Amino acid sequence: MDIPTTRQRILIEAEKQFIMLGIASAQMTDIAAAININRRTLYRYFPTKDELAFEIEVMVMKQLQDYLTLDLGDMTGKTGFEKVTAYFFQVDLENVKEQIKFTAEFDRYFQGNYPNPALEQSFIEALNPNQDQLFLYIRDGVADGSIRNDMTTEELYHFISHSFISLFQRLILRENHLKYEYCDNIDFHKSFQKIILTGIQRT
């Protein structure tokens, strides 16, 4: 088993504290103390808290992307719509709950300008839809006629992916409250699947 590097230990601990306390409230001193390094060492790796948070977000996006690259078995001969359907029925966001919690905190904290152009560019590259299995399946469906073509692949993909993340960010953050807010009998995952699949299928 590989021993985590100091950089990896910083990222793991910072992600934990950022989720628990919020990026604004978490302190670099506390992150350093939790992994038994001094603050000077921490700042050598990450000069600012914003840069540390950004690095974690890029890492988290890669983790989400890796998880969402699902093994759906042999898709030979399947239409794009059938691929998207298989994809949705295999996704289980319980497996990436902590990552989605972090994306919610990141989105809240970085509503204004990003720390610097280099970090902004690395973040944009991590969002490249051509690396996303769902985007490729939607593209296949638009091309083979099984998915509606009155919207572009990009429009369909971005609407679905942003709706998907936004809904499940809220469900995860409010999971202890929704059952008391008239939502206890609703299977949001199944409802989302049904609404999206019905909406994109070409009839």
For the chain, give every domain's residue range.
1-47, 58-200
Q: What is the pLDDT of residues 182-203, one digit of tens each?
A: 888 888 888 999 999 999 999 8
Measured between alpha carbons, how far is 156 from 98 in angstroms, rounded to an integer? Answer: 26
Q: What is the pLDDT of residues 103-156, one digit of tens each?
A: 999 999 998 888 888 888 888 888 888 888 999 999 999 999 999 999 999 999
Give the pLDDT score at 1: 57
Q: What is the pTM of this model?
A: 0.84
Measured between alpha carbons, how far is 22 from 27 in angstroms, rounded to an integer? Answer: 10
Give the pLDDT score at 183: 86
Give the Å distances, CA to CA, from 100 to 52, 63, 76, 164, 170. Answer: 17, 10, 32, 11, 10
Give the pLDDT score at 13: 95
Query: Please, are residues 123 and 114 in contact by the beta-carbon 8 Å criterion?
Result: yes
Q: What is the pLDDT of residues 55-105, one digit of tens each?
A: 999 888 888 888 878 788 888 999 999 999 999 888 887 888 888 989 999
Domains 1-47 and 58-200 share a fold: no
Q: Assign domain 1-47 one CATH number from 3.40.640.10, 1.10.10.60, 3.90.1310.10, 3.40.50.11060.
A: 1.10.10.60
CATH 1.10.357 fits 58-200, yes or no: yes
Q: Is the pLDDT of residue 12 over 70?
A: yes
Q: Which residues pair with 201 in a beta bridge?
A: 147
Q: What is the pLDDT of residues 156-179, one digit of tens each?
A: 999 999 998 899 889 888 888 887
Give the Å distances, CA to CA, from 76 to 80, 132, 148, 164. Answer: 11, 19, 21, 27
